[in-house]
Amino acid sequence: MTGEFTSIGKRVPRSDGRQKATGAFRYMTDIPREDRLYGALVHPRCSHALVDGIDVSGALACPGVVRVVTAKDVPGLNRHGLIWKDQPVFCDRVVRYSGDTLADVIAVTPEIALRAAALVRVSLSPLPEVLTPEEALAQGAPAIHDGGNLAAEYSFAKGDVADAFSRSDVIVEETFLTPYQEHAYLETEGGAARPLPGGGVEIWEGCQNGIRAARDLALILNVPEERVIVHSHPLGGGFGGKDDLTLQGILAVCAHACGKPVQIDFSREESFLVSPKRMPMKIRMKMGATWEGKLLAISVHLLGTCGAYACYGPAIMSLALEHACGFYLFPHVEVAGELGYTNNSLVSAFRGFGNVQVNFAVESMMDMVAEKLGMDPVAFRRMNALRPGVRTSYGYLTSPSVYADGVLGKLEETELWRDRESFRQSAPKPWLKRGVGMAACFQGVGLGNHCFPDSARARVDLREDGTFLIAFSNEDMGQGNVTTLQMMAAESLKVPLSRIEAVCGISGQVPESGATTASKTTYLTGKAVLGATEKLLAAAGKALGCGRDDLVLDDGGANGRPWSEIYALLPPGERSWEGSSEFQYVEERYDFGVHYVYAYLSQVAGVEVNTLTGEVRVLKTEMIPASGRVINPLGFEGQCEGGAVMGMGYALHEDFSVPGNPRGITRNFQTYLIPTMADMPDIAVTAMEESEVTGPFGASGIGESVAVTGSAAIMNGVFDAVGIRIRELPCSRETLLREINGNNKKTER
């Protein structure tokens, strides 16, 4: 399959790997600390209050304290936000969640800053706390924002749902609950800013969209955009949690106010307190089907919260509704979602955003309907799956590269699925029950047509020595996009990978290629890189006196001339080229956004339930991703394996707890359990490399779909093992044990 390619499809170690393995790699939190000051933030002790006053005299009296920065020091707009600018950099009038920032104490050492921060006296008049979206959207609820507590609501209806349910032979109606999930990237938020001579700042903090951050910071500082330089690459993990500003606004204001460089590093506890989580959701779903196994109708209601500020909340609700029917075809549809502000943890982008929650519901429901029908769950899915050229449940046409049936068919061929009976029988002890479950998904690639235009630019420079530099803005948070884009450039120029250097994540110095999010960099920025290399090849053709089509590329040059010679032949203005790309959108417009390009994936999981302890272990799992051609199998598998384990954590352990007390009881890794190597299942990945016809080299995006199907596949496996249907994540030992004890008959399968 890789025969026609020189770079693509090779298992390539990532280009920054050697530096990462030797410790030489510098994250933004590692930059040597020359003459700089340190900040420690003051957060409120409650989650909803009026700010009456902030007394900083005690802190200022501490030797070593230089200044205490508050809302008064913000020179421009004291607001930021991905969709709406509703989040203050420093709280001014109102506290809306316990991770808000009231003040930053700046001192000569971090220790002094921290001690002095405890001496800042804040007078607050408590307001009633609104902790759940139910409370928030109830009549007469205290308003968190001037416009009320409804952050967004979207809906869509098609056909006659009531009539279709009355004609259905089988109906399943259920309510599912999903938890807050913490990104738990290992590098906590942190970095530094320094004032620029003549106004503005230069800032170093890992972020998934440095150029947009620079734009927001310019508004906050009230300076022209070019007076803000943001270094946003690399990141020690992001997963969506570093898409918005984290500390940059505070750092910028402090550096500006102090006239000196300022550094702030979050502890794990502060990161957990302040940072956004995955949106918790209450999902009501009803499905109807005929005895023959044809789906007739679906009704879905989603209730979620974005926390105290909108963040990416509306986009997540939009994506959840878009994916709420799975990739199945329902002739009659009604879906609706409501998003409420609460005084709880912030909620924003998180790998697979929106889809992760609804997929748990849809794929559990598909199993439940199949069971009622007495049908094989995969056969039932295949009967109702989207096909190329067929309109989705909402009525739009996607890219013809539809692999819904494909990933289901391949799943049927996996050993675990074929031999599931022997897996069930393989439990070594009578109290251990084994079962096999599966789930499938599609995942829109890119942001869709909801809130932002989604385009990318990239540049390629031919350099004097015959090597190339590619430039784009997308940061690498670990997913490996830099290596992937280098490979694409190397392929299109037919030069060894070592000839392609890459630069990214410095605002003002690289072309804007959009947020590094939504599984889109390989696809969108990949196309922009290829656009740029094509222009360079055309120019080279001209310089060599032939057309682009007559250019014969070989290992180090074209038409027998090395690239260093071609450099000399090219006019100076033709050695550097920019390419751009845009997503294609569907013609139809909905309340919420939809996509044209989707990635597909199915997953099978072999689980073991300990009926004495309620513990669930995933012993084996196999993933079948279809996201077009695989550019770098090593990185691709890494995404799948990491996603599988992250999905498993969501299903079984991860529950960022914010009960009653919005400050929450989850503070660190002692109480927030992410999977460890001891929990790791046996993971296999079999990519379906059918091409995405609209993608660069036929690729689409893999980053998110891999984290989507885990919970349903595992819970369907739990049902297969012990006959218990889990409707609330994570599947706690207590719940499972209670159900097992109350339901002993069913465990004797």
Partner 1 sequence: MLHIRFNLNGKDVDADIHEGTRAIDLLRDTFELTGTKESCGQGECGSCTILLDDEAIHSCLLLAAQMEGCRVVTIEGLEKEGELDALQQAFLDAGAIQCGYCTPGMIMAAKGLLLHNPAPTAEEIRDAMAGNLCRCTGYKKIGEAVSLAADRQRN
Chain residues that interact with ligand FES, rule: CB under 6 A: 186, 237, 478
CA distance 420 to 374: 17
Using CB distances below 5 to 8 A depending on partner kind, what does residue 337 bind out of partner 1, ligand FES, none? none
Q: Which stretch binds partner 1 (CB under 8 A): 172-180, 363-371, 567-575, 672-680?
A: 672-680
Is 18 a binding residue for partner 1 by CB under 8 A? The answer is yes
Q: CA distances (Å), 329 to each of 200, 382, 384, 394, in order?
A: 53, 10, 6, 9
Residue with tokens 């669930």: 616
Using CB distances below 5 to 8 A depending on partner kind, what does residue 746 bind out of partner 1, ligand FES, none? none
Query: Taking a C-beta distance cutoff of 8 angstroms, is the pair 187, 237 a contact?
Result: yes
Whichever of 79 and 351 has its CB closer to partner 1, that residue is: 351
DSSP H stretches of helix in 494-546: 526-543
192: number of CA atoms within 13 Å, CB side?
Answer: 21
Is 665 a binding residue for partner 1 by CB under 8 A? The answer is no
CA distance 618 to 605: 7
Q: In whole angstroms, how close is the CB of 612 to partner 1 at the nearest point?
A: 23
What CA dihedral angle connects 100, 704, 672 and 364, to 10 degrees? Answer: 120
Q: In whole angstroms, how close is the CB of 633 to partner 1 at the nearest point?
A: 9
Report the residue from 2, 13, 465, 665 that binds partner 1 according to the rule CB under 8 A.
13
User: DSSP readout, 235-303?
Assistant: -S--TTTTSS-SSHHHHHHHHHHHTS-EEEE--HHHHHHHS-EEPPEEEEEEEEE-TTS-EEEEEEEEE
CA–chain centroid gap for 122, Å, is 35
CA distance 31 to 246: 18
Is 498 a binding residue for partner 1 by CB under 8 A? The answer is no
Q: In whole angstroms, how close is the CB of 235 to partner 1 at the nearest point?
A: 6
Report the residue from 5, 6, 16, 196 that binds partner 1 according to the rule CB under 8 A.
16
Q: In whole angstroms, how close is the CB of 674 to ligand FES at the nearest point?
A: 10
Query: Taking a C-beta distance cutoff of 8 angstroms, is the pair 82, 149 a contact?
Result: no
Using CB distances below 5 to 8 A depending on partner kind, what does residue 241 bind out of partner 1, ligand FES, none? none
Contact mark string toward partner 1, 151..190, x via CB under 8 A: --------------------------------xxxxxx--
Query: Taking a C-beta distance cutoff of 8 angstroms, is the pair 473, 505 a contact?
Result: yes
Query: Taking a C-beta distance cutoff of 8 angstroms, is the pair 736, 729 a contact?
Result: no
Tokens of 51: 């700010």
> By Cβ distance, which residue is nearest to ligand FES?
186
CA distance 221 to 69: 14
Backbone angles phi, psi at 639, to 5 degrees: -65, -45
Q: In whole angstroms, how close is the CB of 207 to ligand FES at the nearest point?
A: 16
Whichever of 166 and 671 has its CB closer to partner 1, that residue is: 671
Query: Taking a C-beta distance cutoff of 8 angstroms, is the pair 411, 624 a contact?
Result: yes
Report the residue from 140, 670, 734, 745 that binds partner 1 according to the rule CB under 8 A.
670
Using CB distances below 5 to 8 A depending on partner kind, what does residue 479 bind out of ligand FES, partner 1, none? partner 1
Contact mark string toward partner 1, 431..470, x via CB under 8 A: ----------------------------------------
Is 210 a binding residue for partner 1 by CB under 8 A? The answer is no
Query: Taking a C-beta distance cutoff of 8 angstroms, is the pair 605, 719 a contact?
Result: no
Is 26 a binding residue for partner 1 by CB under 8 A? The answer is yes
Using CB distances below 5 to 8 A depending on partner kind, what does residue 16 bind out of ligand FES, partner 1, none? partner 1
Contact mark string toward partner 1, 521..560, x via CB under 8 A: ----------------------------------------
Is 1 a binding residue for partner 1 by CB under 8 A? The answer is no
3-state per-residue secondary structure call for 7-29: CCCCCCCCCCHHHHHHCCCCCHH
Whichever of 123 and 676 has its CB closer to partner 1, that residue is: 676
Q: In whole angstroms, how close is the CB of 476 to ligand FES at the nearest point?
A: 11
Whichever of 64 and 237 has its CB closer to ligand FES, that residue is: 237
List binders of partner 1 among 247-276 (CB under 8 A): 267-268
Backbone angles phi, psi at 697, to 5 degrees: 55, 20
Using CB distances below 5 to 8 A depending on partner kind, what does residue 523 bind out of ligand FES, partner 1, none? none
Is 237 a binding residue for partner 1 by CB under 8 A? The answer is yes
Spell out the residues 6+ positions from residue 68 whose beta carbon is closer than 8 angstroms to its own.
Answer: 56, 59, 60, 103, 104, 105, 106, 116, 120
Whichever of 241 and 478 has its CB closer to ligand FES, that residue is: 478
Using CB distances below 5 to 8 A depending on partner kind, what does residue 17 bind out of partner 1, ligand FES, none? partner 1
Query: Taking a C-beta distance cutoff of 8 angstroms, is the pair 95, 42 a contact?
Result: no
Q: In whole angstroms, how close is the CB of 236 to ligand FES at the nearest point?
A: 6
Whichever of 214 and 646 has its CB closer to ligand FES, that residue is: 646
226: number of CA atoms within 13 Å, CB side?
Answer: 1
Whichever of 16 and 371 has its CB closer to partner 1, that residue is: 16
Whichever of 28 and 252 has its CB closer to partner 1, that residue is: 28
Whichever of 186 and 678 has its CB closer to ligand FES, that residue is: 186
Query: Taking a C-beta distance cutoff of 8 angstroms, is the pair 321, 156 a contact?
Result: yes
Using CB distances below 5 to 8 A depending on partner kind, what does residue 307 bind out of partner 1, ligand FES, none? none
Q: How many CB atoms lie within 10 A of CB 115?
A: 17
Using CB distances below 5 to 8 A depending on partner kind, what does residue 634 bind out of partner 1, ligand FES, none? partner 1
- How many helices (H) and strands (E) in the chain? 21, 28
Amino acid making up residue 721: A
Is 235 a binding residue for partner 1 by CB under 8 A? The answer is yes
Using CB distances below 5 to 8 A depending on partner kind, what does residue 203 bind out of ligand FES, partner 1, none? none
Q: CA distances (Å), 508 to each of 210, 215, 232, 340, 455, in order?
A: 10, 11, 12, 37, 17
Q: In whole angstroms, how close is the CB of 635 to partner 1 at the nearest point?
A: 7
Using CB distances below 5 to 8 A depending on partner kind, what does residue 243 bind out of partner 1, ligand FES, none? none
Tokens of 78: 């004291």
Is 53 a binding residue for partner 1 by CB under 8 A? The answer is no
Tokens of 345: 């943890």
Using CB distances below 5 to 8 A depending on partner kind, what does residue 613 bind out of ligand FES, partner 1, none? none
Report the residue from 143, 612, 680, 693 that binds partner 1 according to the rule CB under 8 A.
680
Report the residue from 9, 179, 195, 234 that binds partner 1 according to the rule CB under 8 A.
234
Q: How many residues bind partner 1 (CB under 8 A)?
A: 56
Whichever of 365 and 477 has its CB closer to partner 1, that residue is: 477
Using CB distances below 5 to 8 A depending on partner kind, what does residue 418 bind out of ligand FES, partner 1, none? none
Tokens of 171: 């109906």
717: number of CA atoms within 13 Å, CB side?
Answer: 36
The enclosing H or E element of 164 equals helix 161-167
List binders of partner 1 among 616-635 (CB under 8 A): 634-635
Report the residue from 14, 67, 194, 382 that binds partner 1 according to the rule CB under 8 A.
14
Q: In whole angstroms, how close is the CB of 415 to partner 1 at the nearest point?
A: 18
**CB burial of residue 61 (10 Å; 0-12, 13-18, 19+):** exposed
Determine how β-strand 500-503 pairs with β-strand 281-289. Answer: unpaired
Q: Give the residues lining the site for partner 1 (CB under 8 A).
A: 11, 13-14, 16-18, 20-27, 30, 32-33, 183-188, 234-239, 267-268, 477-480, 634-635, 637-638, 640-646, 668-670, 674-678, 680, 683
